[in-house]
Amino acid sequence: MNIRQEEKGTVLWFTGLSGAGKTTTARYVANELLQQGVRAELLDGDELRETICKGLGFSREERFENIKRIAYVSKLLARNGVHVLVSAITPY
C-alpha cells in the first residue's frame, strides 16, 4: 500500500475588538484560498458560541475554555491538511 503524506494545514487566528472586521477579513481570505483550490475553513467565534461553545459565559475561565475548544478543532483540521482561519475575540 502506498499512502502519500498529505500537506499539513495552518491556522491563522484573527483577533481584535468586537466589530473590528475580523470575520470580514477572515472570510475574504478564506474565499481567496478556496478559489485557488486550497482546502480552507473559517471558524467564526460567534457561530462557535452557538454550537461547540454553547453555554459558556464570559468569565476569565469560560473565555479560556472557549479558546481551548476553538484551538482543538483548529488543530484537528490543520493536521488533516485544512488551512484554518479563526475569527474570534481572544483576550488571553
Categorise residue 2: left if φ over 0, alpha if ψ from -120 to 50, beta otherwise.
beta
Q: C-alpha cell of 43?
A: 471558524
pLDDT digits (tens, 9 = 90+) for 13-28: 999 999 999 999 999 9
CATH of domain 11-87: 3.40.50.300
**DSSP state string for 30-63:** HHHHHHTT--EEEEEHHHHHTTTTTT--SSHHHH
Q: Give the global pTM.
A: 0.86
- Domains in the chain: boundaries: 11-87
Within 10 Å of residue 82's Cβ, how many Cβ atoms? 19
pLDDT digits (tens, 9 = 90+) for 26-47: 999 999 999 999 999 999 999 9
| Residue 5 CB contacts under 8 Å (≥ 6 apart), including other chains | none
